[in-house]
């Protein structure tokens, strides 16, 4: 019974809509209190299996290369693995001094990388999944909004490198939904049409189908409208 309870504790994870679990941690950029230190801005907390591994190296270089792009969307990055601080520092120095990938080189990782030797943070966020590994964190991505609420979660296995364009797209799409009270369809990018929430009554449904407002209604439940790309970017991105 004790073994089952311990395994359930390891793989438990916070859900969309929950407040991000709080923790204090040592990082390559000093101590942080999460999510309290990030109140008022979005953050992405992500885990990787281990330092000095090739897939993780490619991911950290890509995230570091895109860090300014995320910052303009009011989003900070925080990495985590269960390696120690000195391993983190040595690995990040190696990335900057020696590694070239996908046209990127001399990449300096400036966002914090959490030391989690005890696995306390990884367990709080369900990053240790025994079916994949009992000693390494899977590739988890938590999107946390300015109110410290978890808005989206993406999990990848150890062998699969993440799509960072999709991570950025998801961030901007969620911020667009908040700002304009709309939903975003499959493969949405700024400038594409957005979806209006389904009508809540027969009267509203009929009104939408006959309205002269700039709605494109395929049926009463499926209505889209144009949302100018410049308007989206002006609202979302810092100037």
Residues annotated as catalytic are: 56
The tokens for 235 are 């609202």
Contact 21, 14 (CB under 8 A): yes
- Joined tokens for residue 17: 């809509």
Q: Which residues are annotated as a binding site?
A: 139
Are 168 and 68 in contact by the 8 Å Cβ rule? The answer is: no
- Binding site, annotated residues for substrate: 139
Q: Dihedrals φ, ψ of 64, to 5°?
A: -65, -40
């Amino acid at each position: 019974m004790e073994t089952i309870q311990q395994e359930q504790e390891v793989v438990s994870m916070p859900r969309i809509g929950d407040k991000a679990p709080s923790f204090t941690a040592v990082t390559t950029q000093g101590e942080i209190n999460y999510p309290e230190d990030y109140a008022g801005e979005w953050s992405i907390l992500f885990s990787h299996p281990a330092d000095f591994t090739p897939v993780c190296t490619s991911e950290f270089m890509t995230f570091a290369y895109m860090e300014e792009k995320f910052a303009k969307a009011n989003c900070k990055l925080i990495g985590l693995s269960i390696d120690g601080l000195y391993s983190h520092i040595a690995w990040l120095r190696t990335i900057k001094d020696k590694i070239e990938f996908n046209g990127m080189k001399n990449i300096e990782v400036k966002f914090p990388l959490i030391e989690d030797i005890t696995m306390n943070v990884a367990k709080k966020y369900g990053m240790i999944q025994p079916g994949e590994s009992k000693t390494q964190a899977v590739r988890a991505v938590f999107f946390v909004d300015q109110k410290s609420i978890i808005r989206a979660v993406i999990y990848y296995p150890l062998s699969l490198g993440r799509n960072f364009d999709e991570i950025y797209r998801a961030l901007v799409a969620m911020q667009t939904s908040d700002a304009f009270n709309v939903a975003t369809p499959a493969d949405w990018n700024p400038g594409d049409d957005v979806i209006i929430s389904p009508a809540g009554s027969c009267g509203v449904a009929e009104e939408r189908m006959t309205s002269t407002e700039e709605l494109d209604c395929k049926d009463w439940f499926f209505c889209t409208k144009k949302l100018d790309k410049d308007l989206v970017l002006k609202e979302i991105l810092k100037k």
